[in-house]
Chains A and B, each alone.
Chain A
């Protein structure tokens, strides 16, 4: 009897012994990592409307980020998987892989036409085997032209792989055709410039949910009128102290497919973390088409370290013909005023 009771007590304790110490630190670390890659932040906060928002529109506003909505189940499950696995005995190791070198090198295009007062640029590079840890080589000696309304402009190679033209400025509503002749292959892409988004102002809000908890987090909010055309997509980028956050997972995409023509009053477009006393913040709004919105979406998914439940890996397809990677985008660009963010205001 006594022995049985002892057994019982020991058994009750065993699980405790087995499960402790709990690697809480590890969890925080990994969550932060997920956060960095855009997973968690989006999961936790699909979009955070200003509290003062009209209740009526808050739901639609949440729906606006198609990208977030459609991916949020995955993120939710991610989070759960993270918690389960990290509290267990899982581990992550570096491994050596032997990857077959690519059969052939593909052309990569990053091209844009804007209505801002700057050069129209097309950057051409080539793919390299995945395990070559070096910059992609430029594709030099290509003939690059952009055609609009029957006129064709030749872009000049100002540095290796870097083609530009200052002969024209983009216009909303025009359709641009990119033609590239490179090593006897031709590649084309077409893009129509959509109406831009006029930024009236930007604002900030303290974000309470970030990790680590003692790091100040802020949301950047935008104010402005959505243009009357339906099915607009906009890409917002932000700059801190003059430096544009130009990595794609820091960008934010907005669509008005559920609430066209509304005035955006404090739409959150980014969450930043900083211990600085003051920051200078600026936001850029670019009009994009739905195809580019999906391109960015797919690119983020394929870039992110996908530990669990990953969808089948597949190439991210842009709008170029003939198997070239990348995208050619005609975009209307608007900048906000620069505004200072003082930490003391949010403490």
Chain B
């Protein structure tokens, strides 16, 4: 292990020393990298893009607006600049001896001061360009001279500026939304050809506007449902927000909300997600090629950033929908220096329950709510802090007999610090928590079951913009996890039973570099190293070869009883084949140190997270992918084809008929094996014009092999649906009307159906011969929505719109599950039944902003 640390350190040194140019502290661009690290890794080539923006970024910029005075010198102190700038192709000036001056600044929305992630700055004369990063910063080094700049962002009016550069300067730009902005679907806010030029592959970024234009179930805009229509991402069941990425399980997805882990992203058993679209600024999903800054989950990273709030004016937005209402307040704390945002949402379906005449229905409670809050403040040019939090709960009670509550809480305190012109740092204190309570009441007796997971820690990420060809990121993280599998109490006398809680501590060190080797070839390479230690107090059972417990060992508080970890290399490369096409490839290894004890296909709120241990090894995934990216018609259409292969080790499943609740020996129920997945993903996306949207098709296969399951033969994974097709369109019909359409088709999910029958205890028992040997009928569905603008923005009065959505327009009865039950008449007649969850579901939502 020490050896590995040493290797990593050496790697960092090699990266720093090997990248060529030394850097001089004076100018240069640097940017901040977001905490998020490498989102885009970028090193593109061709133009200087930086890729980072998107992904991770957190939201806002560090810097404030320094009025731009050109010519201002910025020495170290200036506002940070941002982008990761990579620079331009053209400028090959190996600027060793003489570095070019640096132009940098922040690009914001002129109306509310929200920083723009992925806006472009383009130098007409040289063809150089860069893109703002997650905090809205850009930085570009160009030879001294006079230039025309084009500053642009999709959905905003392009700004043309003439500047003269002699020395480092900082310029901020405020872009105005174009008049069409409201109707325009901005599928990607980033550079028009970023998909071709960036090294990063297997990544999709969506902003809140895009997500809001997709027809929504019950009118509740849902980010998780939207990403399920992207290639390579599958849902786990009709209407559920759980998803599987490239053959992974639902617990293989790292879901971050402002950097804090969201352990269960579902409301109402998964029919809605915890993300309130009004509070979300930007989201990106990595299906592979996960930046080295992130890890801990095998399959994907879903990085969601909350809005910072309007720094110029106080604003209220909200909506009233069929099942929930939303209200968001935002405004400056100090004009142009700090802002806040508070957003709440609550469902009111339970109010209709009380209208029922049936007491069985009337005396129930069923609702959820969310609260998102964020504040940020610019202390000075080099320091900016953010505080963000989320709190949400689901509340369900049935007749005073039973209650079930669950929810997440997260908090993130971030500090952006611009160390010098080329070095940006972000340090975050992060807390997140998920817990549920299930209680039964009967007279004076009651039982309550509490379970949860808490983690908190600190991470520090640095970006070092060494020169236009190299952007180095490195950082460290320490997290503490506390697992509480079960704590059962009786209200009578407080007696109870507790399955001992245990904890773990995770140390992470990572480094990566985006390097442009030539105009045509750029690479990204990174390494992540994790040490994961289980810590007492804990009781650890040991098991023999037959999974029978042979005793246990108790460990005291703070005692380390198991250490695991390892290196996770991440590599990718992009080769430009021409001005509009590129070939990319990537390889990444990811490891996972905790998992969800879930025994059902869809996942339940009562599923419990548990860590690796002496009995449970970390899961490992190796993924390789190859992709061809090409833009057509002046970047109007983006097309891509990606092929991936993934091999997963130490995959968990539970033995047949496992007992996973209240079982302190749950590790004895686990069986491990391997899984492999491969697939091809096609996508065509149109981001501009009055018709926008995408078409995607995925062919994929995922199989698992575990000795004690299915007789040790390969079997289909639960989410193995070979064919997946999605069509997502949005047509702008003039200034007031906007129509959206989705059509999705997928193969049916695998199911296990009985082949034989036998009788015992007076009932007919099923006999199975193969797990997941059958498939449900194919799934398809059409959704439509119409959005009517009732008041136009521009002026500062009420701006509102009406959205009508219809889910499952032709009321297709898609099977959610198939089961058997005895038929009337004959005791031996078991009839097959199909449960379809949703027929046609219309809904209406009214959104307003003033």
Contact = CB atoms under 8 A, between A and B. Distances in A.
Interface of A: 4, 7-8, 11-12, 14-16, 18-20, 22, 24-25, 27-28, 31, 43-46, 48-49, 51, 55-56, 58-60, 62-63, 69-74, 76-77, 79-81, 83-85, 87-97, 99-103, 105-106, 108, 110, 125, 127-130, 132-136, 209, 211, 213, 246-249, 251, 294, 296-299, 301-303, 305-317, 325-327
A228 B438 CA distance: 34
Contacts of A313: 752-754, 766, 768, 771
B761 A4 contact: no
Contact of B449 (A28, A56, A73, A247): A73
Contacts of B361: 22, 24, 27, 83, 87
B758 A326 contact: yes
Interface in B334-366: 348-349, 352-353, 355-361, 364, 366
Contacts of A19: 322, 349, 352
B661 interface: yes
Given A18-B842, A309-B604, A125 B759 contact: yes
B556 interface: no
A346 B798 CA distance: 64
A81 B271 CA distance: 10
A234 B756 CA distance: 30
A319 to B, nearest CB: 13
B836 interface: yes
Interface string B767-802: 111010110000000000000001000000010101
Given A88-B841, A298-B657, A326 B358 contact: no
- Rank and list the top 8 A-B pairs by shortest CB-CB distance, nearest first: A248-B761, A314-B656, A24-B358, A247-B762, A309-B600, A59-B490, A127-B756, A313-B752
B659 interface: yes
Given A15-B844, A100-B773, 17 more contacts: A4-B798, A11-B846, A46-B440, A51-B443, A58-B490, A72-B438, A76-B440, A83-B398, A88-B841, A90-B838, A91-B835, A108-B759, A130-B820, A302-B657, A310-B601, A312-B771, A314-B656
Contacts of B736: none
Nearest to A128: B757
Contacts of A97: 753, 818, 832
Nearest to A8: B846
A8 B442 CA distance: 43
A302 B399 CA distance: 28
A303 B764 contact: yes
B830 A133 contact: yes
A84 B366 contact: yes
Interface residues of B, number: 110
Contacts of A24: 356-358, 360-361
Contact of B758 (A27, A106, A309): A106
Nearest to B832: A97
Nearest to B753: A99
B148 interface: no
B819 A249 contact: no
Contacts of A213: 359
A302 B497 contact: no
A251 B816 CA distance: 31
B402 interface: yes
Interface stretch (B453-461, B627-635, B821-829): B821-829
B396 interface: yes
B402 A136 contact: no
Contacts of A248: 760-763
Contact of A62 (B357, B447, B826): B447
Interface of B: 268-269, 271, 320-323, 348-349, 352-353, 355-361, 364, 366, 396, 398-399, 401-402, 404, 438, 440, 442-445, 447, 449, 488, 490, 492-493, 495-497, 599-606, 653-654, 656-659, 661-663, 752-769, 771, 773-774, 790, 798, 800, 802, 813, 815-821, 826, 828-844, 846
B322 A77 contact: no
A134 B834 contact: no
Nearest to A136: B759
A69 B773 CA distance: 31
A294 B348 CA distance: 42
Contacts of A49: 445
Contact of A76 (B348, B606, B756, B842): B606
A236 to B, nearest CB: 14
A176 B99 CA distance: 90
20 contacts: A16-B355, A18-B322, A31-B360, A46-B447, A58-B445, A59-B447, A76-B440, A79-B398, A83-B398, A90-B838, A94-B832, A99-B774, A128-B757, A133-B826, A133-B828, A246-B761, A299-B760, A302-B765, A311-B657, A313-B753
Nearest to B324: A15
Nearest to A55: B492
A227 B663 CA distance: 25
B399 to A, nearest CB: 8
A80 B396 contact: yes
Given A80-B398, A81-B269, A88-B837, A95 B832 contact: yes
Nearest to B439: A76
A327 B760 CA distance: 9
A106 to B, nearest CB: 7
A25 B760 CA distance: 33
A99 B755 contact: yes
A136 B816 CA distance: 30
A77 B838 CA distance: 19
B320 A11 contact: yes
B840 A89 contact: yes
B792 to A, nearest CB: 14
B760 A20 contact: no
A71 B661 CA distance: 7
Nearest to A108: B758
B304 to A, nearest CB: 25
Contacts of A130: 753-757, 766-767, 820, 830
A85 B604 contact: no
Contacts of B763: 247-249, 299, 303
A167 B560 CA distance: 61
Contacts of B349: 19, 87
Contacts of A58: 445, 490, 492
Nearest to B718: A312
A104 B762 CA distance: 23
A20 B757 contact: no
Scoring B401, B605, B760 by chain A CB atoms within 10 A of each residue's CB, the highest score goes to B760
Contact of A25 (B358, B601, B752, B774): B358
A105 B756 CA distance: 8
Contacts of B759: 108, 125, 135-136
A127 B829 CA distance: 15
B757 A132 contact: yes
A63 B661 CA distance: 13
A127 B445 contact: no
Given A89-B840, A94-B831, A312-B771, A211 B360 contact: yes
A108 B755 CA distance: 15
Nearest to B449: A73
Nearest to A61: B445
Contacts of A94: 831-834
Contacts of B662: 69-70
Nearest to A53: B445
A133 B496 CA distance: 48
Given A74-B661, A247-B763, A306-B819, A83 B364 contact: yes
B818 A102 contact: no
A282 to B, nearest CB: 18
Given A63-B497, A128-B756, A102 B836 contact: no
B301 to A, nearest CB: 27
A179 B16 CA distance: 74
Scoring B268, B445, B819, B835 by chain A CB atoms within 10 A of each residue's CB, the highest score goes to B445
